[in-house]
Chain A
Amino acid sequence: METKYCRDTLASLCVGQRGVVSSLAAEGMGRRRMLDLGLVPGTIVESVRRSPAGDPTAYIIRGAVIALRSEESSKIFVNPL
Chain B
Amino acid sequence: MGLTYQSSGKGALREDYLSCNVKGDYVIALAGNPNTGKSTVFNALTGLKQHTGNWPGKTVVQALGNYKHGQKQITLVDLPGTYSLLANSPEEQVARDFICFAEPDATVVVVDATCLERNLNLVLQVLEITSRSIVCLNLMDEARRKKISIDVPALANKLGVPVIPTAARNGEGLTLLKDTINLVAAGTIELNPRRLVYDAKLEAAILELAGELEPLLPPQINRRWIALRLIDGDYTVIDGISKFLEKKLIKEDFAS
Does B associate with A?
A: yes
- Where the two chains meet, the residues of A that have a C-beta atom closer than 8 Å to any C-beta of B are 29, 32-33, 36-38, 61-64
Are B117 and A63 in touch, CB under 8 angstroms?
yes
| Nearest A residue (CB) for B121 | A38
Nearest Cβ on chain B to A27's Cβ, whole angstroms: 13
Chain B positions 96 through 118: 1 when the CB is less than 8 Å from some CB of chain A, otherwise 0: 00000000000000000011111
Q: What are 16 of the A-B contact pairs (CB < 8 Å)?
A: A29-B88, A32-B88, A33-B88, A36-B83, A36-B86, A36-B88, A38-B118, A62-B115, A62-B117, A62-B118, A63-B114, A63-B115, A63-B116, A63-B117, A64-B115, A64-B118
* Chain A neighbourhood of B115, CB < 8 A: 62-64
**18 other A-B residue contacts (CB within 8 Å) besides A61-B118, A63-B118:** A29-B88, A32-B86, A32-B88, A33-B88, A36-B83, A36-B84, A36-B86, A36-B88, A36-B121, A37-B83, A38-B118, A62-B115, A62-B117, A62-B118, A63-B114, A63-B115, A63-B117, A64-B118
| Nearest A residue (CB) for B116 | A63
* Chain A neighbourhood of B114, CB < 8 A: 63
* Chain B neighbourhood of A37, CB < 8 A: 83
| Nearest A residue (CB) for B84 | A36
* Chain B neighbourhood of A29, CB < 8 A: 88
Nearest Cβ on chain A to B233's Cβ, whole angstroms: 10
| Nearest B residue (CB) for A63 | B115
* Chain B neighbourhood of A36, CB < 8 A: 83-84, 86, 88, 121
Q: Which of B160-177 contact A (CB under 8 A)?
A: none
* Chain B neighbourhood of A32, CB < 8 A: 86, 88
| Nearest A residue (CB) for B35 | A64
Nearest Cβ on chain A to B88's Cβ, whole angstroms: 5
Question: In the complex the two chains form, what is the Cα distance from A64 to B121 in whole Å?
Answer: 13
* Chain B neighbourhood of A38, CB < 8 A: 118, 121
